[in-house]
Amino acid sequence: KFIILATKNEGKIREILDILSEYRSWIKTLKDLNLDIELPEELGESYEENAFIKARYIAELTGYPVIAEDSGLEIDALKGELGIHSARFGGSVGYKEKIRLVLEKMKDIPWEDRKARFVCKAVFYDEKEDIKIITGGKVEGYIAYEPRGERGFGYDPIFYFPPLGKTFGEINEFEKNKYSHRFMAFNKLKLFLECFYKGGKL
Ligand code: ITT
Ligand code: NA
């Protein structure tokens, strides 16, 4: 039993391996396999399509079942951007700069109009068994006025989560994995893995 986790994002890898910790011995990261490759360009028009583009690429390359995900930050005041363009936003600059650019765009937006959500679509794809499972998750919050906290990754320091009164940059991974879009999506995928993998059907 062997599943490849097709992502290059270290933050995602940490969180996903933690959510799927029961399956850790079956999951191989690209690093575990010494697969030093770029994932294909994400030319799809949705999170689903982009997640599947990544999964299919690695599945065809290796012949193994694959898990991949695509995610993004949707900001109401920016008409749903950054969305599927979250990673590309601002070009090839670091997240400090991407965050600065978002806050600059949002500088005149009052609190009540700063609603935003993280979205994640997770894909399990097994070409041989002809299985394609897609699950999703969302978490609602606000774009903070200033970045806070050094934890997490990406846009976490500006994603304010009202139930905790903190940004995702201020909470540890254990806490983020109780509430995040990624947790929601992968926790659902876990139900499938439980039936088909643990249950011995595959
Ligand atoms: P892979 O394609 O290798 O999986 P990526 O970073 O390019 O990694 P995406 O194309 O899915 O992944 O881009 C998602 C972007 O959305 C990511 O780079 C972050 O900027 C943002 N994002 C998604 N989930 C996030 C989270 O939990 N915290 C902070 N930012 C997040
Ligand atoms: Na993407």
pLDDT digits (tens, 9 = 90+) for 126-168: 999 999 999 999 999 999 999 999 999 999 999 999 999 999 9
- List the domain boundaries for the chain: 3-198
**Residue pLDDT, tens place only, 50-79:** 999 999 999 999 999 999 999 999 999 999
Among all residues, which ones are annotated catalytic? 70
Atom in ligand 1 nearest the alpha carbon of residue 182:
27
Model confidence pLDDT, tens digit, residues 1-12: 799 999 999 999
| 136 CA → ligand 2 middle, Å | 14
153 marked as part of a ligand binding site: yes
Distance 43 CA to ligand 2 centre (A): 9
pLDDT given at position 198: 77
Judge if pTM exceeds 0.95. yes
d(CA 73, CA 156): 10
The angle subtended at Cα 153 by Cα 161 and Cα 172, nearest 5°, is: 60
pLDDT at position 201, please? 73
- Residue whose CB lies within 8 A of the most ligand 1 atoms, among 4, 8, 9, for a mutation test: 9
**155 labelled as ligand-binding?**
yes
Interatomic CA distance for residues 59 and 56, integer angstroms:
5
Q: Identify the CATH assignment for 3-198 out of 3.90.950.10, 3.40.50.300, 3.50.50.60, 3.40.50.1370.
A: 3.90.950.10
